[in-house]
Amino acid sequence: MIVVYGIKNCDSVKKARGWLEARHIAYRFHDYRGDGLDAALLQKFIDALGVDAVLNQRSTSWRQLDDAQKSDLTPDKAVQLMLAVPTLIKRPILENGQQLIVGFNPDQYPSE
């Protein structure tokens, strides 16, 4: 089963979900706000993709952090920030079996 992780009002998540629906590809949507985000799930993303691929340092949420939060960024500090502010996670993250794909990229998405 494909799982799409993100937040429902994110444009990239909307594009990914629309793309899957248009192709009648079954998936489950996991909303960080409604379904939650725990340390184990976030660590799974980081273990597979790396913290730099998961943390969105170009997001509005990142820009709204104060300088102390953004400075001296370690992997542990990044995890704590993403757990506190899930909108810091790049979206969507699509899980297809053992594969994780960050962002909406139809060329990497399953075809059926």
Q: List pLDDT tens digits, range 4-58.
A: 999 999 999 999 999 999 999 999 999 999 999 999 999 999 999 999 999 999 9
| CATH class entry, domain 2-102 | alpha beta
* Catalytic entry in 5, 7, 8, 10: 10
What CA–CA distance (Å, rounded) separates 23 from 73? 40
Instruction: Evaluate whether 27 touches 1 at the Cβ level (below 8 Å).
Output: yes
Instruction: Give me the residue spans of the domains in the chain.
Output: 2-102
56: closest CA among 103, 99, 15, 94? 103
Preceding amide of 92 cis, omega within 30: yes
Task: Give the Å distances, CA to CA, from 103 to 11, 69, 77.
Answer: 11, 24, 23
> 44-103, pLDDT tens digit by residue?
999 999 999 999 999 999 999 999 999 999 999 999 999 999 999 999 999 999 899 999
Residue type, 21: E
Is residue 10 flagged as an active site residue? yes
The reported pTM is 0.93
